[in-house]
Structure 1
Amino acid sequence: MKLKTNSVGWLGRAAKTGLSALVVLSVVACHKADQPIQPIMPTSQTTCALDGMLLLDFPGPKAQIHYADGETDFFCDTMEMFSIYLRPEQQRRIKAIFTQDMGKANWQAPLGQWIDARKAYYVVGSNMSGSMGPTLASFARMEDAQAFSKKHGGKVLRFDQVTPEMTTLGGGVIHDERM
């Protein structure tokens, strides 16, 4: 009898230890899942999800969408990012969206300066072009967006004020008859 009691006691302790380990692993996994997503720095080989163009070869703000399934789409233009995000058939769960702060980045060769696209201000209708023609200039600060708008034209909007009608992809390559 004593042997049985000890083996049950040993098994009970092992089960408790295993259960404790599972709880710790669950907490660690949840903590990791709750960590904020960080933007990914594009390389010279990073291509646009829509047209395959190399991101770093073109002027204007770039964008990236991080999905819940762990995949990331890059865009050589904010116009393309909005056209995907605002599609009514867009069913993929989005975890984060980033664009570049053109108040700090060089328009002709923007590097870094990634900001949360949902908190950014956008200038729609300016005379500055992105990779595919007209684009939405993105800014972390309202003051920078307003200064850009005064210099280059256009209207300052928040992320949630941008509509699908503002993000048509009808410029750029479609109208280039040399292609």
Structure 2
Amino acid sequence: MNMLPLIRTGLILILTSILVACSGSEETAQARPDPVHFESGDECHVCGMAITRFPGPKGQAISGEESQVRKFCSTRDMFSWAMQPENINRDYTLYVHDMAQTDWEHPDDTALIDAREAWFVVGSERTGAMGPTLASFAAQSDAETFAGQYGGEVVPFDGITMEHLSFGAAM
């Protein structure tokens, strides 16, 4: 009995299982990037203002393809950039400060959260670098508490529109 075909089949099965196992690790290698700290010399990608000199939540966009980090002095500027036609379909990760975990006047970068999972308060009396801003929270209940104290409307990430960014418009 010739064992060569049986050995060949066994080797093919082993190689196939190795390839399948390796393809699973590719997903891990493409995991979203970690947020980066805001440094004192950082300038807003939209308006050029010094980011750390102003109160309120900040934002950042990290591109998947080139790992380029764009930093924003406010969540409003981050959304303004992200909602532009040339950026809307880009592969990027967005981060914002969880304002329930940090001080409004000096947001701590250890409180950065995934913006796509965050809740935002639009139209509150609290201001950021460019005046009115969107207060960001990891938990809907924290956003509702903030809105109860400072006013505004609680909106999930995918509910934010360009109209929300023009604070004089009806919401």
Task: Compute the TM-score of the two structures, normalised by the length of structure 2.
Answer: 0.78
Alignment of 1:69-88 (within 5 A): 69-88=66-85
Q: Determine helix, strand or coil for the equivalent of 1:87.
A: coil
Gaps of 5+ in 2: 1-18
TM-score, normalized by length of structure 1?
0.74
Corresponding residue SS for 1:151? helix
* Deviations 1:92-132 (CA, angstroms, capped at 9, x unpaired): 62331000000111001111100000000000010000100
> Which residue number in structure 1 is paired with residue 105 of structure 2?
108
Alignment correspondent of 1:176: none
Q: How far 1:70 moved relative to its partner?
A: 1.5
Q: CA RMSD in A?
A: 2.2
**What CA distance in whole angstroms lies between the structure 2 residues aligned with 1:32 and 1:76?**
31
Q: Are 2:130 and 1:132 equivalent residues in the alignment?
A: yes
CA contact (8 A) 1:66 1:73 kept: yes
Which SS does the other structure have where 2:145 is aligned? helix
Q: 1:156 to 1:28 in 2, by over 3 A?
A: closer
1:46 to 42, 48, 51: 42
Give the conservation status (yes or no) of the 8 Å contact 1:83–1:164.
yes
Any conservation in 1 of the 2:55–2:129 contact (CA below 8 Å)?
yes
**Displacement, 1:28?**
10
How far apart in 1 are the matches of 2:88 and 2:146?
Answer: 34
Indicate the residue corresponding to 2:30 in structure 1: 34
Q: Indicate if the aligned counterparts of 1:121 and 1:156 stay in contact, CA closer than 8 A.
A: yes
Question: Which residue does the alignment assign to 1:167?
Answer: 165
Number of aligned residue pairs: give it: 146
Q: Does 1:94 align with 2:86?
A: no
Per-residue deviation at 1:89?
3.1
> Tell me, what secondary structure is at the counterpart of 1:39?
coil
Q: CA deviation at 1:35?
A: 2.7
Aligned letter for 2:158?
D
**Aligned letter for 2:108?**
L
CA displacement, residues 10-63 of structure 1 (integer Å, 9 cap, x when unaligned) = xxxxxxxxxxxxx8xx86993663233100011111111112211110000000
Which residue identity lines up with residue 161 of structure 2 in the other structure?
Answer: T
Residues 156-175 of structure 1: CA deviation (Å, up to 9, x unaligned): 000011101111399xxxxx
Q: Please tell me whether Structure 1 or Structure 2 has the larger radius of gyration of its CA atoms.
A: 1
Distance in 1 between residues matched to 2:160 and 2:34, nearest whole Å? 24
